[in-house]
Structures are given as C-alpha cells and as structure tokens.
C-alpha cells in the first residue's frame, strides 16, 4: 500500500491490472480481470482508461453498499468490517 487511504490504493492497484484492446474500428476496450463485470470503452486509450476508472469506482461503491464480496488485491481486503480509532472526550 502506498497511501493512507485504502480505497484509493485499492483503485490504483486494480487499475494497474487493467487490460486494453484496440478494436477493429480504432476504439479501445478495457477490463480488469479480477473485478468481474468491470469493462469500459472509449474512442481513445485515454478515454477508455478514464471510463474504466469511473466504472471501477462505481462497481466498488455499489459492491460495498450491497455487501458483495470484493476481490482481495495485494492484501487489501475491503470486505472486512472497518476499524475505528477511539476518540477521547474532552
């Protein structure tokens, strides 16, 4: 993990696993194999990458909200119950 926010790290790691294909019409498709159903299309590689990131964000947030099991990526497990730090009363 690189940062202090596990969700950002999770998204970054998932995006590093993205696979892209150039289609016959010159557009691009992208997918993240470990994240079933995360796929996007774009007229350029950059557009496809941006769309894939957006689809991934939505997929993770909906999965968390609905309690779906998300893949564990590089030891990052978003399926665990969150741990909260104790806050002292003043």
Which residues lie across from 21 on neighbouring strands?
29
Q: Which fold has domain 6-66?
A: Double Stranded RNA Binding Domain (3.30.160)
More confident site: 10 or 81: 10
Q: How far apart are CA 1 and CA 15, in angstroms?
A: 14
Question: What pLDDT score does 90 carry?
Answer: 65
Question: What pLDDT score does 82 carry?
Answer: 66
**Cβ(61)–Cβ(7) below 8 Å:** no
- The phi, psi pair for 40, rounded to 5°, reads -150, 165
pLDDT tens track for 31-73: 999 999 999 999 999 999 999 999 999 999 999 999 999 999 9
User: Tell me, what DSSP letter sits at residue 44?
Assistant: S
**Cβ(34)–Cβ(71) below 8 Å:** yes
């Amino acid at each position: 993990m690189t940062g202090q926010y596990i969700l950002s790290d999770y998204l970054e790691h998932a995006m590093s696993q993205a696979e892209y294909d150039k289609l016959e019409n010159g557009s691009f498709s992208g997918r993240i194999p470990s994240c079933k159903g995360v796929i996007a299309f774009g007229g350029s590689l950059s557009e496809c990458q941006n769309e894939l990131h957006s689809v991934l964000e939505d997929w993770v947030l909906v999965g968390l909200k609905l309690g779906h099991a998300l893949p564990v990526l590089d030891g990052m497990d978003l399926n665990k119950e969150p741990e909260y730090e104790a806050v002292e009363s003043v």
